[in-house]
Structure 1
């Protein structure tokens, strides 16, 4: 089953209010409204695209060790996935799919990282629960997400909904701003050029990991 098929199956059950979710229809409608407004805002069109230069960054891994994009790119191309947090089931299914594809990435000499605004404690939980063999780096205040054009502020009505659902983003992220990254996936060549970019303001839609393989093969051929 493809990643998107798994996401669609989960969404169908979640929005139907099936146990264990039992989500009221009003909650679903509020989420739909927020997604529709984010799409209409055109925010995704302003994110970095293939052909752009990726910003350099240094972020801490879940153990507090600094990880530099320049150091990673010195070893090969880089796959970067921006991840909302351990609380997001769609994100966790995406991480699991990326983990399954990791051997293919590594065969092509690529490194894989995820970037999330969540605290190190929550990133360690994500790594453990999803059995990941790649790190989740902590992007405090979504600053790196902003450099890629992904950061957005939740509207007040969605903040109220999250609070009612006990989804306390300031606690998850150690940051009071109520911002998130749009889910984004990038392949970056060793010279810093973005070879592949997929950004979707609809968090229930994610590209397949295999979609990045042509870009990684191009990067590998250039490196050779």
Structure 2
């Protein structure tokens, strides 16, 4: 744990302020995403609340330390496990002055279902058209096989989008966790194209402790 703390300290000490692109291209596959990095600013992009209201993500984070995590949807068992793990530490994060926000491609109705089923005490936002994940550089085209399986068997409502070959594919976010300071700067990020591997909650707590 001491080694992890030192690594986090070293990573957080070397920060530079970058201007983030408003929109990044959708990657052809998960391994090709180009995520927002440490020291970059929260993009100006619109998300949707559970009530269906459009809000600017910069306004949501303005003046508040924030843990922002991207997950694929309430239909994903790995995402549901992660949401449960974050619920266990949400009180500790709030005690450190953080708000906790999850973003997925679920429609507002799907978010409401997740909140009710898991009795979540933190905010969920909809990125139905993948504009938020795209602005963070996390959006990628799922394979044809994955698109067919998820859209037909799981009855997803996410609109399909055309890739560079003109093929209609499902767009998903690479699972990610971001820690923002009160100025809207990324202080820590974890992005893993392998959707089965998620950030350990204890490591997230250590990263949060370093943000002043």
TM-score by length of 2: 0.76
Question: Matches of 1:74 and 1:179 in 2, distance apart?
Answer: 28
RMSD between aligned alpha carbons? 2.0
Per-residue CA deviation, residues 173-205 of structure 1 (Å, 9 max, x unaligned), is 3x2331111111100112221111111111110
Deviant stretches of 4+, over 4 Å: none
Match 1:43 to one of 22, 32, 40: 32
Greater strand proportion: 2
- Where do 5+ consecutive residues of structure 2 fail to align? 1-27, 162-169
1:125 equivalent to 2:113? Answer yes
- 2:72 is matched with which residue: 79, 84, 105? 84
TM-score using structure 1 length:
0.72
CA change 1:69–1:160 in 2 (3 A) is closer
The structure in which a higher percent of residues are helix is 1
Name the residue aligned to 1:154: 142
Deviation, structure 1 residue 66: 4.2
CA deviations on 1:194-220 (whole Å, 9 max, x unpaired) are 11111111111000122222332232x
Instruction: Determine if contact 1:145/1:181 at 8 Å carries over to the other structure.
Output: yes
Cα distance in 2 for partners of 1:158, 1:68 equals 31
Unaligned 5+ runs, structure 1: 1-36
**Does residue 95 of structure 2 align to residue 95 of structure 1?**
no
